[in-house]
A and B are shown apart, each in its own frame.
Chain A
Amino acid sequence: MVVMNKPRHHRALWVCLLILLAAPTWAPSSEMSGMLSIGSGWTSNHYEDASGSPTLLGDLMAQLAIQSATESGHTHWRFSAGARGAFALKDENAILASLSWEQGFRLDQGLFVLGAEIDHDYIPKKDRRNYDDASWTRFGGQGYASLRLDGEESSLTFRYQAGYDAFPDHDPDAFTHSLSGRYAIGLEISTILTARIGAGQTLYNERHPVDPAGSPLSGGVQELFVESGLELEHWFSATTGLTLEAGFLRRASNASLYFCGPGETVLLVDGDEAFFDDFDSFSDWHSRAGFTHRTGMVRTGLEIGIRQRVYDARPPFARNDTPDVSGSCSTLRLDLGLSLGLELSETCLVESLLQGFTITSNDEKLESTGFGFRLGLRILL
């Protein structure tokens, strides 16, 4: 376990703040926007699993954006800082901060963008659910480049991004990079079709596949993923719209698991150990429908979604933690959300959200249902 270095975290935040404050000096024609959001709510199942952990929630977030745009392109700085609390689950409380920069270069028929972002989740409490009693504090950084080719009624965007997430107290430190393409076309004045496709790789440097005896192999865990999706957005009028989306995700992983036995987090050689070779590869399909309507000061949104995931070889587990080696784990998730926004003024919005989900699975530890609500206030500054 790594002991956290608090002063180092604070230094990083100060550096972010100084960069941000200095930004307007080299962007004299910049526009500044601010946003403050605060909210509170409750969920019946925070982890969305069979543990069914209920908790009150709270969040506070401040965002600042500075952008300058000219005929030749744009410069954009964004800074956000805030806190997120789960009052019954102290180890979920987090202080969040991020800083991003983006530079756009206007082309004859398109836009080329370079960007970078660093972000930090500071989680002061240890994770009491986890065997190594460590915090999920995280540092992240990523860079990206995108090229957009513009047509009159369409645009084609290619984007490459690469980033690294570091967890000082845990082992999912990983480098992820991906290449994606996105094509959007206006079929009619109020109908937009978007197709996207992407592929990427995640390389873990502290997680290793294990051999059948449970010994870590030399290379790190690697995941390859491809995804694609189609989205159709149609506006019946200026105030009433419908969005339909369908997508596919395939992940191929070389992760394997040496299972110590039901309820065991350390190895006790008692004959109930098992080795699962291909533990994390899966195929995933999802579709979603969203309906929005606005009347006067009130915005209403309704969203339903369905997601099915089938693992290649991961066995389903019974509630007593016993694997069923004869089958492979599959889940079906249904989501329903209703949002209501009340626009008090041009800059002040009261938001409310009611949502529920149900997961059915042959893995009893994943089967769960939950619902929750949030009431928040968003102020543009």
Chain B
Amino acid sequence: MHRVPVTLVILAGLILIPSGGWAILDSGRLASLCPAQAGRLQTILEAAGRAGLPMSHLETRINEGLLRRVPCQRLLEAIEKEYATLVETRTLLASIHDTSHQALILFANLRSSGLTQSSIISLIAVYGQTRNISSAGSAGLFLLSMKELNWSETQVMPLAELIATSSWTAGQREAIRQLLLYGASLDIERGQTVSLVRSGLVSGRSFHQIRRNLLDRKPFRLESGPDRR
């Protein structure tokens, strides 16, 4: 239940704080804690190094797993999956001629956190036009945070794409989330809510105006509030 918020904090940290250097794997600790899996993990790291993937990212993950005392077999499976995600993401980024580790780690993290491949492709497509890693990260975080509230990625993707091309502040992005929840509280169908919010943002309307437009489109009467006054 708390996996997504924790991931969001970690991801937000990754986006806001630039990578400061290489992580160093404590091989001795790995061999003593996971003797059966240590060899396979080292092989994955070597393969990553040969392929030009960010080894430090995988080393950090292994260190993190060891510190959190994740069972060795589960740690191995997680690192294998992380490696596969890095390979897949690098292939996608190659299509927009981006070879930076920063973008690779961001999109791989978003994928590992639960975004579908199609969402990652959509975000990479927008990133290919803007080359704004911060906005792309914000869009990914937006998708994850709405997913936590039971909204599907497909439903909110039109807004995530807009966020990926914008320079909105964290407060403004939070206000967009609030508008979506406000629309849902008025029993407006989600697709229609997203469409109304998006068209309002695109046409430069204020958040107050978009909120008012949503209120105009509520299907049913409110029990209390403007209808009854």
Give chain A nearest CB distance to B154 CB in angstroms: 12
B175 near A190: Cβ-Cβ < 8 Å = yes
Whole-angstrom CA separation of A186 from B207 in the bound complex: 9
**Chain B residue nearest to A192 in the complex (CB):** B208
A65 near B219: Cβ-Cβ < 8 Å = yes
A180 near B207: Cβ-Cβ < 8 Å = no
CB of A154 within 8 Å of the partner chain: yes
Size of interface on B: residues with Cβ below 8 Å to A: 30
Residues of A within 8 A of B174 (CB): 190, 235, 237-238
A294 near B149: Cβ-Cβ < 8 Å = yes
CB of A361 within 8 Å of the partner chain: no
Residues of B within 8 A of A157 (CB): 226
CB of A370 within 8 Å of the partner chain: no
A182 near B229: Cβ-Cβ < 8 Å = yes
Give chain B nearest CB distance to A67 CB in angstroms: 6
A190 near B220: Cβ-Cβ < 8 Å = no
Whole-angstrom CA separation of A300 from B26 in the bound complex: 45
Residues of B within 8 A of A192 (CB): 208, 211
Whole-angstrom CA separation of A223 from B211 in the bound complex: 36
CB of A63 within 8 Å of the partner chain: yes
B150 near A346: Cβ-Cβ < 8 Å = yes
Inter-chain CB contacts under 8 Å: number: 87
CB contact between A296 and one of B148, B172, B192 (< 8 Å): that residue:
B148
CB of A152 within 8 Å of the partner chain: yes
CB of A74 within 8 Å of the partner chain: yes
B178 near A380: Cβ-Cβ < 8 Å = no
CB of A88 within 8 Å of the partner chain: no
CB of B190 within 8 Å of the partner chain: yes
A63 and B220 contact, Cβ closer than 8 Å, known pairs A31-B192, A189-B171, A238-B177: yes
Contact with A along B205-229 (1 / 0, CB 8 A): 0111101100011011100001001
Closest 4 interchain pairs by CB? A238-B177, A186-B208, A65-B219, A33-B219
B: which residues have CB within 8 A of A? 1, 145, 148-150, 171-172, 174-175, 177-178, 180-181, 187, 189-190, 192, 206-209, 211-212, 216-217, 219-221, 226, 229
A: which residues have CB within 8 A of B? 31, 33, 35, 63, 65, 67, 69, 74, 78, 80, 100, 104, 111, 150, 152-155, 157, 159, 180, 182, 184-186, 189-190, 192, 196, 198, 235, 237-239, 241, 294, 296-297, 343, 345-346, 380
Given A35-B219, A186-B207, A296-B148, 5 more contacts at CB 8 Å? A189-B175, A196-B229, A238-B174, A345-B150, A346-B150
15 pairs of residues in contact across A and B, judged by CB atoms under 8 Å: A33-B220, A35-B187, A150-B212, A154-B208, A184-B208, A189-B172, A190-B171, A190-B174, A235-B175, A237-B178, A238-B178, A239-B149, A241-B178, A294-B149, A345-B150
